[in-house]
Every structure is written in C-alpha cells, then in structure tokens.
Amino acid sequence: MKLPKVLLAMVTCSSIPFVFALSSAQAADFVFNAKFSNGYSATGSFTTKSGTPASFSEVNPNFPSAPFTTQFLESTSLSIFDSTNKLLQTGSNVSNNISSDPYLLLGYDSSLPNKLSALNISTETPTQNPYYYIANNVNPTATEYVTPGSTNYNLFSFDRTTEKDTFLGDAINIKVSAVPEPSSAISLLTLATFGFGLAFMRRLNHRTKSNSLYQDC
C-alpha cells in the first residue's frame, strides 16, 4: 500500500529541476550573454517566427524608416549591467513582429562558432534616455558604419539630448544558446521519470528476493 506513495514522492522530487527549467524557458527561442571590457555585461533573448531557417539575417528593408514589420524576429530583449552587476537598463526594440529601431540588424548562423554574424540591438524605448546598444557594424568611435563582423561587438550608450554616443567596452564573442522547446523538455521529463521508476523497481525486486532467500534459510 505504501509503495505507490513512496514512488510518487520520489518521482515528483526528481522532476522538480525539469519543471523549473521548463517554466524558466518562457517564450524565448534563443538567449545570449556577453562580457565586455571595463566590466560591463549583457544578457538578452530573441524569438523567431515559425518557419525561420537555421541561418537568417534580419535587417530594415526601408532604412531609415521605422517602425517596420520584421521578417524573422518576433521579439527581442536586452539588459545591460555595470561592473558591479547592477542592472542599468532593460528594453526591447522588437515586439509583436514590429521593430521600433531603424538600425536593427541581427544575423544568425547555427553553423558558426559565435552564431551571431551580425548584431545591432538596443534597449531603446520612447521614454529611455540614455539608452544602450550593441553593434558589430559600428566602429568604437561611433563615427562610421563598417561591414558587420569586421569589428568586435561594441557597447555604447546614446544620449538623446546631446545626440552623443559613448563607447563603453567591447566583446570578442557573444554566447548564444537555443532554448529547448516545451515538447522536448516534456520528453526529457518523461524519459527521466520512466528510467528512475524502472531502476527503483529493479532495486526493490532485488531486495525482495534477497529477503526471501534469507527467510528460507
């Protein structure tokens, strides 16, 4: 009578990390993080639309007009931290398939080591001043645009009042990770639960047989 309850409790406890990972994933398809010189860091995410290929490039087709409808990106988010890991700002320049940033540029290639072949993403919202942006198509002095990927990932702040860019630091690469789909996470949970239960039953049967042999003696 007690066996099902014990097994259920043990299986439930073993499932907690999987359920937490699933709930933490939320809606993002990809997450990324970077550490810049001078101690700055960034975390972010981007969600792609259904049918987006493994490699794509999102760019404003009507630059410098904005807002514009994106082709591949559904949403983005970006958070910037200082050297003490204090959050400086969080924002999004793509929401519900619409980009508010005419400079948006995101190239993703799953076959590349760094995966991000091009990036110009910001925390810009109508109310934030200054705002922050990361770009590998802008030189460190922010005086000219260069070929995407020909410079490091440069972090800037931009003051709307003075219209001045300030270089804050750079990073050689940005780590990008795909977030598992819920169906994949559930499959892992099911497999882990089944395996745990099978191993538990085998151990229980082994103990039962051992006890029976001892009692027969």
pLDDT per position as a tens digit, 60-88: 999 999 999 999 999 999 999 999 999 99
Q: ∠ CA 126-130-135 to the nearest 5 degrees?
A: 95
Provide the H-helix boundaries in the chain. Answer: 3-25, 182-216
Query: Could you give the CA distance from residue 72 to residue 180 in angstroms, rounded to a whole number?
Result: 19
Of residues 2 and 100, the one with the higher pLDDT is 100
Burial of residue 36, with CB atoms counted within 10 A of its CB: 0-12 exposed, 13-18 middle, 19 or more buried? buried
- Chain centroid to Cα 78, Å, comes to 10
What one-character DSSP code corresponds to residue 104? -
Band the pLDDT of 127: cuts 50, 70, 90: confident
Question: Which pLDDT score, from 0 to 100, does residue 126 have?
Answer: 84
Average pLDDT of 4-29? 41
Segment (H or E) for 149: none
